[in-house]
Amino acid sequence: MAHSARLASALTAAVIAGLIAPGPAAAQEPAAPVEQGFAGNYDYNGDGRADLVARRDETGILEVWPGSGSGGFGQRYDVGPGWNGMDLLATAGDLDEDGRADLLARRASDGALLFYGGDGTGFRPPVRIGFGWDAMSAVVAGHDYDGDGRADYLAVESATGYLWLYPGDGTGGHGVRVRIGSSWNAQKELTAIGDMDEDGHPDIVAVRGADECMYFYGGPGSQGFRRPVMFDCGWDVMASAAAAGDFNGDGHADWVGRETANGLLYLFTGDGEGGHSSSPVIDVGWGKMTIA
């Protein structure tokens, strides 16, 4: 069966369910704080709708793709060039609690993790979180995994396979990390989806390298997540999965996936029960893009 068909018919009973150029963008009046709900904060242009952020790998230009609110896109715009020096881009929710969606990036040259606070159209100049983050095979953020009301970081340590929780401090930084899992280096990618089953705890999904299948890990993350549930296979033909908030406006958290060979972009529409109701193709030409 074709991969797109497998995606469209994936099990839904137990399922899953996210920059300026290195210079400042235009300023904007501060927005009211936005609660970190089940879908998180993915509104990068301040219109109240979830958006995507992606880099064109050939040029290093970072772009915002404004969501239409119904599962499509408005007119994309450039944030700036120079992003091909980053080997990791990740949506970050509202880490500094100013009501605007933020971004994390890891600089390939020295392993520094950088926090880019959102300004309503692009991002403010970066703040360095720290060095040594090249020891992590995955870094994700944007949801409250320890239940203190602030968005946190999760990271997988390559050498040990430990899963670390870095409690957010409400300013873009983090507190003392806590180990919440082991053997996570068996996963080739990690995605902070949000609260896909809407039980009050944000969840994650991961693709296991051994079988190229995607697994749902239900929260709470502070307790190491619940036992994984495999819900779809065939992800060897997919380059990535990225959280997208409530991208189609139905009140449930969604995510996107990019198929490598043909550049198709799929939207996985969450059903609010831990699954997804459909996976339509929403755009083409994403073969050489990195989605934050």
Cα–Cα distance, 192 to 203 (Å, whole number) = 7
Q: What is the pLDDT of residue 27?
A: 34
Q: Which of 2-11, 86-95, 121-130, 209-218 has the lowest mean pLDDT?
A: 2-11
The reported pLDDT for the residue numbered 169 is: 97
Average pLDDT, integer, range 133-140: 97
pLDDT at 38: 58
Q: What is the pTM of this model?
A: 0.85
* Cα–Cα nearest to 107, from 81, 80, 120, 126: 126
pLDDT at residue 16 tops 80:
no
Q: What percent of the chain has pLDDT over 70?
A: 87
Residue 266 identity (one-letter amino acid): Y
pLDDT above 90 for 141: yes
Are residues 192 and 185 in contact, defined by beta-carbon separation less than 8 angstroms?
Answer: no
Q: In the predicted model, is pLDDT for residue 32 greater than 60?
A: no
Q: Which residues pair with 189 in a beta bridge?
A: 207
What is the mean predicted confidence (pLDDT) over 151-178? 97
DSSP label at 32? Answer: P
Average pLDDT over residues 188-194: 91
Q: How many CB atoms lie within 10 A of CB 113?
A: 24
Q: Would the pLDDT of 244 be above 90?
A: yes
pLDDT of residue 11: 31
pLDDT band at 233 (very low <50, low <70, confident <90, very high): confident
Q: Is the pLDDT of residue 240 over 90?
A: no
Across the chain, what does the average pLDDT equal?
86
Does residue 31 register a pLDDT over 80? no
